[in-house]
Structure 1
Amino acid sequence: KNLKVKRITGNIFADVSLMDSLFWGKGWMWDDDPSTSAPYLSSLNINKNSVQVITAPQKINKQSKVTFYPESKYYSTEANVISIKGDSTKIKVSRDWINRKNKILVNGFQFYKDDVDTSEVNIFRPELFFITLLKEQLNKVDIKFTGKLDTLTIPDNAIKFLTIKRGLDSVIIKTNKESNNLGAEMILYALAEKFYGFPATAENGVKVIDSLITLIGHDPGNYRIVDGSGVSHYNLITADLIIDLLKHMYNRKDNLFSLYYNSLPVAGVDGTLKDRMITSQAYNNVHAKTGTLSGVSNISGYVTAANGDKLAFSILMQNYVGKSKPARDLQDSLCTILSLYK
């Protein structure tokens, strides 16, 4: 718009050839769809490849107000949420994932005095979501575009108009603090592209991780890693491996440890640990990454003991039935004990 562009002729294409066509992680559960913890993968991503659903209660027996962000014609919606007098809220947000359709479904009831409810669902074919949002944004700023949207590989003679880059540090911080699975998968693909070229594959990304495992003195053949986020139940690692990796990061002589350490959630302060260990000695002390699946709850990172020593720890808990709170409470107690060590 600042360049006085009024119209774009031709078409808009998304080049997704940087990575392979695998849009779902190996070993991811089929019924994780449409959760944003299992996002669809592409080399062109936006808004965590998801849509936010905001449901606001209205008067009793009236339809709650349901809005979606970002708004787009790329997906359709069907909402039926009633505001009720009872003091309970039960809202189900889903998508027609069985048919691979981007139709978002919102159903249930909401206490009329309740707070606004916010949920998210993933989106199928995020690269098309990206360029659809681009088209819609162009129209919003009065730049006319009536061409088609599609994917292709950019020709070698194409003219590069603009490049936008972000440092890896900002990606790592957001990924670790928020436990952003899409970010973790994209980092894996970025490693694959850097060391093995494109099209980047998860398998080549894992090869890079295997080389790190070898570097810290372990045999990659003793473990199984298949994705970047840990969503897959195929992954098999040990606390020993994680602790040796944490020690390796601490002993580096460059600034990578500082970057990594500061990217981890801090107990009682931010990220996935914001509401944990608030009233203990571990508060604002433990820097650690959490990992959660059905029947699995893990936490690994660093804690500064009472004697000033920085301790690396890894607590892996699995094969339990029910909620993960008892597991998390035990982890928090163990972290507190470590923080009191003299």
Structure 2
Amino acid sequence: MRKLKIVELYAGTARSVEPFRSWRRAELALLLDVNDFAKETYLANFPNAPFLRRNLTAISANEILQAAGGRIDVLLGCPPCQGFSESGLRVATDPRNWHVRKFANVAAHARPMMVVMENVPTVADSQQFLYLTQRLQQIGYECASVIANSAQYGSCQTRQRLLFVAYRKEVRSAVRFPRPTHGGTVPIFSYSTGQFVDPRANLREALGITPATQRLSQLMSEDFSEYLGEKPLVTIGDTLQGMPRADSRAGGQLQHSAWMHSTRVLRRMEGVREGCRWKGGEDHFAHSYGRLHRRGLARTITTFFPYAGGGRFWHPTANRSLTAREAARVQGFPDDFKFLDKSKKTAALIGNALDACLADLCYRMVRRALEI
């Protein structure tokens, strides 16, 4: 059987393609991203990877196809999501939103067996997403989408993402989204109530599903928002278990070092109990200056996790934000993945990465479809 050429656009640290590396039939044909630092970081881990640094606005679909060796079997990608995100301004004319159309046009030109895109759930409200689905349907693809929460698939992070798949009709009967595996019966800490909640009684509260996601889930091909997997939810305490002390010799080997915080921020946070947040001002979002709970889920890791005011990123017991290695663990990076430095550029790579559990979900769906 011939090798299947896998291509990831907007690759960053190539987390979407990572699980495909274990599949004998998969051949990594091309990674493409405009970020020099992302390319340097990935090649430091995988020196021979076919990583092309190009701006997607300045490269044609045909050039991408030729760079991949003239054929693409599986096209993966997460176009920039900032213009669609609930935490942003959501301006319809944001130039970054154009990349969803670019992704659609590359797929339409290359005609892969399968196309998989990940983005924030609110992309489903956009004209760009409508263009993507209609563009591919017009040339004979079947399309499906689901809003998946990474915590329902084994992550300690409640990260909600829209997963879109388009597939040629010859693989239609085999394509379906894997059902969630986690939920269980073990009580989980709820940041909204400050109490422990039984997932069986209120899974939405346990996961912290946003109102927009609840509304948009009705438009999806499948709705897993109330689906309770058998395995217990994985907590932030489970994920950080066994980490050495930050800034120790063992911590240094893991690039596990505390960020610099001002005296003002440290004083602001030192009296905040586990699972609570500082409430001394109204100039921040609901989860800003929040401390995680060891028996709770992590909130979505963003590029702002080094900052106390950027979200609920404060360590459950230590008076500091999550380190780069801790945030990388939450995102599912293995401890042996090397980052080039301890800088905000590294934090951006970690925050922009796809949660490993969602990447594995997509991989399992693609592999099952193409092996039958």
Q: Same fold (TM over 0.5)?
A: no
Provide TM-score, normalisation by structure 2. Answer: 0.23
Greater per-residue strand proportion:
1
Greater per-residue helix proportion:
2
Provide TM-score, normalisation by structure 1. Answer: 0.25
